[in-house]
């Protein structure tokens, strides 16, 4: 536990300058960020306006109108549903796969360490570029994945170009990029678990399956929760992979929040609707991030207490 | 330690193999593609039996793209340079601003410090477009639109919270007693910070800086909204390049390889720091 500056208490003489010091140290960082807070407030203001860049003369306050209209706007509901589908599908699969791989790599052998280093590579690939890589591999003309599919008898699978498989395709790319993140977190968690409960269980002859569900999983839960919430926060805001892969298409199959807001702003120049969409997304992320931060701080305290 | 049955060893081996294939194959395949001409890429069935050529890389470096229709000028090296410059400058600025602030948050529990720290962290989680879209209008008025300065400033949104939070954790782990002892010996506050706190938090600063660099390099949306062609980093440049070059698949693959190689090399070189930074200091195993 850090002790609040004892030095300052004992040196009464220079109390004033010592008090100012922490503020002075953090001021530059704060100023840079406040410059970024201003646009945030502006976005709230825009969201309460009828505002199209192409019709500046018609700009006026319409208060909550943009939000009220969402209620009966099927495109909005599509955005909400697709965003949630994307977020839960990616995080769900990544958790299962990440946990499975972490269990596989739990023992500290040379081979396992080499594999876990290898798995860093997709995570370090820019998501937008990862989408382009998969786009090349799923190209209808020469895509290697299409070729593999023909080997097992599936012809003409159209990946991101078909409404029925577009969501699957971007979720697959997301899984490729981000599963290693969850794996790393859970592997660190697994390796930091105390060994006594497992030794005791082994002595008592508790079956491995039962050990996993009764001991490993409960003890790992805080790590799983942290990883899941963190990924959920990012996933519901995903833009790079979807935009680089299909630009939200085909049609409005993949118009998740940020993609829809981007298209609203740059294609239909509807600043009001775009801002309102982003504020709703912000409200969702604010809600998740509060749970996440609380959970994460608890985990951190625990890690400190034990280490 | 339980001993494993033969069957289990085999099953584990197969699972491990599948994991490696799934995660490594795309990188391996794109790399192979980058060494081929269009002719061998388009072969049916695909085969890894080909004469490797560096012509795609040569075209990207010289900036001359020969298509069947005409010769096309491309400036991929400019994108690469933009990525290097933007990432290095942003991380340097973020370290300069963030490390002292992290120290202040760790050592002095001043009024409102927790609130400020949380506000900064929550930036990390806000939808980037929410800030970017109004900002692009402001930037046009302020003359910052499409400048490196404006971009570096916005990149602080990625780099600063990361550095602040990771480095703060490391400063908190250093016992204040060491610093106190040094100060009692008559050293100034600043030399205590420089000689004691900074070196002890060194690994944390390295991890945070490395991670911030990779996130800055991999960023796509900021430059997509705020930068025009000559300021765009590789992430945005590669997408534009695909539209421009059409069917020169070998060159697209080579551009992707050149764009991801720096972060992959960094990741392999410093994987230990990276894993620590990624778990945000939450898990010390």
Tell me the nearest-neighbour CA distance from B10 into chain A, angstroms. 12
Look at the alpha carbons of A58, A63, A65, A67 in this order and tell me if their dihedral is positive or negative. positive
- In tens digits, chain A (307 residues) has pLDDT values of 344 444 444 444 455 566 677 777 778 877 777 777 788 889 888 888 888 888 888 788 888 888 888 888 889 999 999 999 999 999 999 999 999 999 999 888 899 888 988 898 999 999 999 999 999 999 888 888 888 888 888 888 888 888 888 999 999 999 999 999 999 889 988 888 888 888 888 888 888 888 888 888 888 888 898 889 889 988 999 999 999 999 887 888 999 999 999 999 998 888 999 999 999 999 999 888 888 777 777 776 776 665 4
- In B174-248, which residue ranges form alpha helices assigned H by DSSP? 176-184, 189-192, 198-200, 202-218, 221-226, 234-245
Q: Which helix (H) or strand (E) holds A279?
A: helix A271-306
The mean predicted confidence, pLDDT, of chain B is 84
pLDDT at B167 over 60: yes
Answer yes or no: do B123 and B102 share one domain.
yes
Q: How far is CA A180 from CA A97, A220, B162, B216, in A?
A: 9, 17, 19, 19
Tokens of A90: 């990616």
Picking from B24, B44, B73, the residue at the C-terminal end of a domain is B73
Nearest CB partner across the interface for A185, out of B24, B104, B283 = B283
Chain A, chain B: beta-carbon pairs less than 8 Å apart? 282
The dotted CATH code for A75-306 is 1.10.3720.10
Q: Are residues B176 and B247 in the same domain?
A: yes
Q: Given an 8 Å threshold on Cβ–Cβ distance, is B285 in contact with A293?
A: no
DSSP 8-state symbol, B126: S
Going by C-alpha positions, the residue among A10, A75, A61 that lies closest to residue A259 is A75
Contacts of A130 in chain B (CB under 8 A): 26
Contact with chain A for residue B123, Cβ under 8 A: yes
Last residue in a domain, options B51, B73, B95? B73
Quote the pLDDT of residue A199.
85
Q: Do B138 and A223 touch (CB under 8 A)?
A: no
Least confident span in A287-291, B120-124, B279-283: B279-283
Spatial CA neighbour of A280 closest among A248, A242, A241, A237 = A237
For residue A42, give the chain B residue with the closest CA. Answer: B134
Tell me which residue range forms the domain holding B228: 76-278
Alpha carbon of A246 to those of A119, A134, A253, A286, B116: distances in Å? Answer: 26, 12, 9, 28, 39
- Indicate if B142 and B244 belong to the same structural domain: yes
Phi (first) and psi of residue A125, to 5 degrees: -80, 135
Among candidates B272, B237, B200, B268, which has minimal Cα distance to B86?
Answer: B237
Of all residues in chain A, the one with the smallest CA distance to B266 is A124
* Strands annotated E in chain A: 49-50, 60-61
Interface residue B92 vs chain A (CB under 8 A): no
Q: Are residues B161 and B51 in the same domain?
A: no
Beta-carbon separation of B282 and A226 below 8 A: yes
Radius of gyration of chain B (CA): 24
CB contact under 8 A, B127 and A139: no
Domain total for chain B?
Answer: 2
User: Beta-strand (E) ranges in chain B?
Assistant: 64-66, 71-73
Cα distance from B82 to chain A (closest Cα, Å)? 15
Q: Quick count: other Cβ atoms within 10 Å of Cβ B207?
A: 25
Q: Considering B57, B73, B89, which residue would you say is the last residue of a domain?
A: B73
In A, which residues are within 8 Å of B13 by CB distance?
A: none
Q: Name the pTM for this structure.
A: 0.89
Residue B260 lies in a domain: yes
Secondary structure of residue A59 in the 3-state scheme: coil
Q: What is the pLDDT of residue B148?
A: 92
B98, B141: one domain = yes
Pick the residue with more confidence: B59 or A302?
B59
Other Cβ atoms closer than 10 A to A181: 21
Tokens of B201: 């938090």
State residue A22's pLDDT score.
75
The tens digit of pLDDT for each residue in B184-238 reads 888 887 888 888 888 888 888 988 899 899 999 999 999 999 988 888 999 998 8
- Confidence tier at B129 by pLDDT (50, 70, 90): very high
Same domain, yes or no: B169 and B95: yes
B35 shares contact with chain A (CB less than 8 Å): no
B237 and B179 housed in the same domain: yes
The answer to whether residue B283 sits within a structural domain is no
Indicate if B56 and B192 belong to the same structural domain.
Answer: no
Residue B284 pLDDT exceeds 60: no
Asked whether residue B285 is domain-assigned, the answer is: no
Contacts of B25 (CB under 8 A, 6+ apart): none
User: Are the beta carbons of B127 and A285 closer than 8 angstroms?
Assistant: yes
Residue B84 sits in a domain of what CATH number? 1.10.3720.10
Say yes or no to pLDDT of B40 above 90: no
Please judge whether A119 and B23 are an interchain contact, meaning their C-beta atoms are less than 8 angstroms apart. yes
Same domain, B81 and B69: no
d(CA A264, CA B274): 37
Q: Residue A8: what pLDDT? A: 44
Please say if the pLDDT value at position B247 is more than 50. Answer: yes
Partner residue opposite B129 with nearest CB, options A117, A141, A278 = A278
Nearest residue to B164 via CA among A233, A178, A25, A188? A25
**Are residues B182 and B214 both part of a single domain?**
yes
In this structure, the answer to whether residues B153 and B39 fall within a common structural domain is no
For residue A114, give both structure tokens: 């080499």
Of B15, B180, B235, the CB nearest to A126: B235
Confidence band for B69, pLDDT divided at 50, 70 and 90: low
Residue-level pLDDT at A81 = 95
Which residue bears the tokens 């106190």?
A: B180
Helix B128-142 vs helix A15-47: crossing angle, to nearest 10? 100
Average pLDDT over residues B32-55: 83
Give the one of A5, A275, A299 whose C-beta lies nearest to B107's C-beta.
A5
Query: Inter-chain contact B100–A30, Cβ cutoff 8 Å?
Result: no
B200 and B266 co-located in one domain: yes
What are the structural domain ranges in chain A?
A: 75-306
Nearest Cα neighbor of A118 from B25, B139, B3 is B25
Q: Which residue of B has its CA nearest to A179?
A: B23
Q: How many angstroms separate the CA atoms of B261 and A63, rounded? A: 49
Indicate the helix (H) or strand (E) that contains A40.
helix A15-47
Domain-embedded: residue B61: yes
């Amino acid at each position: 536990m850090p002790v609040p500056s004892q030095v300052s208490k004992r040196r009464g003489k220079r109390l004033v300058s010592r008090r100012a010091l922490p503020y002075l140290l953090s001021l530059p960082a704060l100023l840079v960020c406040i410059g970024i807070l201003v646009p945030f407030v502006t976005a709230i203001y825009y969201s309460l306006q009828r505002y199209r860049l192409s019709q500046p003369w018609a700009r006026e306050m319409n208060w909550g109108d943009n939000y009220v209209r969402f209620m009966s706007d099927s495109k909005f509901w599509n955005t909400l549903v697709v965003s949630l589908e994307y977020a839960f599908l990616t995080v769900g699969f990544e958790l299962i796969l990440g946990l499975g791989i972490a269990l596989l790599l739990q023992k500290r052998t040379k081979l396992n360490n080499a594999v876990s280093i290898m798995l860093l590579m997709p995570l370090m690939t820019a998501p937008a570029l990862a989408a382009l890589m998969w786009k090349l591999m799923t190209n209808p003309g020469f895509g290697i994945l299409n070729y593999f599919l023909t080997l097992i008898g599936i012809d003409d699978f159209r990946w991101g170009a078909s409404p029925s498989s577009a969501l699957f395709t971007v979720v697959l790319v997301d899984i490729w990029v981000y599963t290693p993140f969850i794996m790393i977190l859970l592997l660190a968690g697994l390796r930091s678990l105390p060994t006594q409960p497992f030794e005791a269980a082994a002595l008592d002859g508790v079956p491995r399956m039962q050990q996993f569900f009764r001991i490993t999983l409960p003890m790992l839960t805080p790590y799983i929760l942290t990883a899941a919430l963190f990924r959920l926060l990012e996933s519901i805001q995903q833009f790079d992979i979807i935009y680089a892969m299909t630009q939200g298409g085909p049609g409005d199959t993949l118009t998740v929040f940020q993609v829809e807001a981007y298209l609203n702003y740059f294609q239909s120049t509807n600043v009001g609707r775009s801002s309102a969409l982003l504020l709703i997304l912000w409200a969702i992320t604010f809600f998740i991030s509060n749970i996440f931060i609380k959970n994460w701080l608890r985990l951190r305290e625990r890690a400190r207490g034990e280490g | 330690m339980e001993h494993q049955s033969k069957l289990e060893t085999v099953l584990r081996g197969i699972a491990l193999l599948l994991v490696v294939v799934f995660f490594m194959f795309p990188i391996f395949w794109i790399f192979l593609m980058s060494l081929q001409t269009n002719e061998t890429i388009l072969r049916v069935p695909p085969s890894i039996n080909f004469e490797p050529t560096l012509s795609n890389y040569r075209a990207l470096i010289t900036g001359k793209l020969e298509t069947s229709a005409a010769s096309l000028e491309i400036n991929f090296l400019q994108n690469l340079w933009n990525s290097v410059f933007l990432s290095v400058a942003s991380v340097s600025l973020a370290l300069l601003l963030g490390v002292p602030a992290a120290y202040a948050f760790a050592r002095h529990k001043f009024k409102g410090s927790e609130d400020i720290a949380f506000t900064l962290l929550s930036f990390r989680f806000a939808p980037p477009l929410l800030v970017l879209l109004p900002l692009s209008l402001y930037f046009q008025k302020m003359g910052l639109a499409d400048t490196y300065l404006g971009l570096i400033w916005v990149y602080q949104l990625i780099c600063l919270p990361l550095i602040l939070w990771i480095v703060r954790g490391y400063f908190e782990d250093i016992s204040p007693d060491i610093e106190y002892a040094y100060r009692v010996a008559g050293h100034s506050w600043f030399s205590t910070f420089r000689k004691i706190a900074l070196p002890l938090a060194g690994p944390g600063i390295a991890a945070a800086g490395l991670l911030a660099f990779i996130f800055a390099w991999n960023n796509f949306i900021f430059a997509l909204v705020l930068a025009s062609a000559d300021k765009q980093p590789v992430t945005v440049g590669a997408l534009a390049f695909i539209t421009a070059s059409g069917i020169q698949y070998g060159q697209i693959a080579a551009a992707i390889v050149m764009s991801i190689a720096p972060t992959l090399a960094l990741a392999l070189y410093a994987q230990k720091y990276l894993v620590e930074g990624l778990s945000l200091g939450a898990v010390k195993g």
